[in-house]
Amino acid sequence: MLDGGKMISLDGVGILGGGGGLICLKRRDLGRSYGVCFLKWRYGRPLCAKPVEDESVPVPISAAELSRVAGNAEALERGRWNRESNALPRQLSATDLVAPSQGLNIRVAYQGLPGAFSEAAALKAYPLCETVPCEEFDVTFKAVEMSVVDRAVLPIENSSDGSIHRNYDLLLSHRLHIVGEVQLAVNHCLMALPGVKKEGIKRVLSHPNALAQCEFKLNKLEVIQQNMHDTAGAAQIIASDNLRDAGAIASVQAAEIYGLNILEKGMQDLSDNVTRFLILAREPIIPGTDRPFKTSIVFTLDEGPGVLFKALAVFSLRNISLTKIESRPQRKRPLKVVTDSNHGTAKYFDYLFYIDFEASMIEPRAQNALAHLQ
């Protein structure tokens, strides 16, 4: 193995079966372990090897990492792509016998770093799940598609800022199914390094949406606002770079993880600040009538007077409540040309309409409404 351009010798210590296993590599010159790798073997040769980093905070999955995994289909077998280092199965205990709805043995992806509000939403949906941080929203979709994880939890709407349009667009470009949703009360906290006072903060780092939701109080502090990729990432940077002139807007969990002191809780301008998250999976759930169901659809319409009104009327005629209407321009065909004899040619945006309605697909009224809409 090469270490800084120098060849070093490693001894392998661990367990390998015919299908692969875990191995610990020890440097002969230092007499200490280098790391733990999962090795997958086929026909006497290794197919992949992935170091397991000994860090308390998981490293987010990147698009490049998923691309490397995609190049090796066998590494995507269920349970193979795993960062845990347990080589042998352990005995079940009474605490293991928990209902699947609690998320036992379920891996849930979210965008951001540990301590992000999206991770809190994942744990609210599946309290016993293993959360998996991802760098981008797109990576969380791909992680589910490639069986790296079982579920993804993504924000879709905030009571203050409205819809997260990026995730609406991604829903159409990935073949995943909405299997649930969770609502999370977002409590923004101002935090800084131990010993730093509120008066000593010159700038505040956070996600743009978080900064916007705390605009009134931040303006009173007269600080510079800096956009970051996510709230927990802002807390991490302050801790890792020892920024004593900066604060972060993030969660209570982020302050605990990165060793920051909370200077003020409830920084949001509106006390009732709620974000709605969607839960995505590879396979759809089977709709029933045993509990309330919500159905999400997307469609486009031909141009004409009252066309949208007629489309929405198919639900009203059957006493079906609409809970959400969202429109997004079609990116591949943004403009629609309509001939007008009086004024020549008119151009309109061609829209996609996202609709959430309260009914199960197993109900005849929902089936009839969609047939009428079609």
Which residues are known to be catalytic?
275, 277
Nearest CA to 371 out of 314, 299, 312 is that of 314
Please return the burial class of 264, using the count of CB atoms within 10 Å of its CB with bins 0-12, 13-18 and 19+.
middle
What letter would DSSP give residue 295?
A: E
CA 108, 49, 232, 258 dihedral sign is: positive
H helices, E strands: number in the chain: 10, 22
Helix 137-145 / helix 165-173 crossing angle, nearest 10 deg: 30
Decide: 267 and 188 in contact? Cβ < 8 Å.
yes
Q: For residue 214, what are its two tokens?
A: 């705390």
Nearest CA to 231 out of 272, 191, 287 is that of 191
Nearest CA to 181 out of 347, 31, 295 is that of 295
Query: Which residues, at least 6 apart from 173, have a Cβ–Cβ distance to it below 8 Å?
Result: none
Nearest CA to 213 out of 161, 254, 276, 150 is that of 161
Query: Which residues, at least 6 apart from 248, have a Cβ–Cβ distance to it below 8 Å?
Result: 190, 191, 192, 204, 205, 206, 231, 234, 235, 237, 238, 254, 260
Decide: 273 and 160 in contact? Cβ < 8 Å.
yes
